[in-house]
């Protein structure tokens, strides 16, 4: 977010990031966002009839996307409709899952305690974050990985 706050077109010199909300008479039913050149992201929704509305909006506005990220049923529905409307092939690139940690098992934690990081921990935290970043973005070109690494240092040193 910090990158976009300082340079709205940091990732794409032509296309600006977008955020779309689909409403019905009860309020927001779907949120979608994209930072070009990356994939379109859709939020979870119980109202899957909002997905074709989003697709129609994107097509009507000439938006072409490289892929879709979202909850499984929604992403599959989006991909099915998108590829049929645009007569494109559908390819599953990565089947990801999201997990949420609700609590730490006391047996795992043992006698250890969480503590708030201080300035003395900055180098350690930068190292952890950069190693994590390197693994997560292993398939990105080196210049993008290096840009992410520099952002980590900037954020941690604030």
As a whole number of angstroms, the distance between CA 52 and CA 32 comes to 12
Pairing of strands 68-69, 27-34: unpaired
112 to each of 106, 108, 120, 121, 124, how far by Cα in Å? 9, 9, 19, 17, 18
Question: Domain spans of the chain?
Answer: 7-96, 111-158
Of 78, 93, 10, the C-alpha closest to 42 is: 78
SS3 83: helix
Of 2, 71, 64, 1, the C-alpha closest to 38 is: 64
| 14-68 pLDDT, tens digit each | 888 889 999 999 899 999 999 988 999 999 999 999 999 999 999 999 999 999 9
| 132-148 pLDDT, tens digit each | 777 766 666 777 777 77
Domain 7-96's class? alpha beta
Of 98, 78, 102, 100, the C-alpha closest to 90 is: 78
- Beta bridge pairs of residue 68: 40
Q: Which of 64-68, 71-75, 103-107 has the lowest mean pLDDT?
A: 103-107
């Amino acid at each position: 977010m910090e990158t976009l706050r300082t340079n709205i077109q940091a990732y794409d010199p032509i296309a600006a990031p977008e955020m779309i909300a689909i409403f019905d008479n009860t309020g927001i039913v779907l949120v979608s966002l994209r930072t070009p050149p990356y994939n379109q992201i859709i939020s979870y929704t119980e109202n899957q009839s909002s997905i074709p509305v989003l697709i129609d909006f994107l097509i009507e506005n000439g938006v072409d996307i490289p892929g879709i990220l979202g909850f499984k049923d929604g992403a599959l529905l989006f991909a099915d409709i998108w590829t049929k409307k645009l007569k494109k092939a559908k390819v599953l690139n990565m089947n990801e899952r999201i997990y949420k940690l609700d609590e730490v098992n006391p047996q795992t934690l043992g006698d250890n305690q969480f503590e708030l990081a201080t300035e003395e921990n900055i180098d350690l935290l930068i190292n952890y974050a950069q190693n994590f970043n390197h693994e997560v973005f292993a398939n990105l070109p080196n210049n993008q990985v290096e840009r992410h690494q520099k952002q980590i240092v900037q954020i941690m040193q604030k």
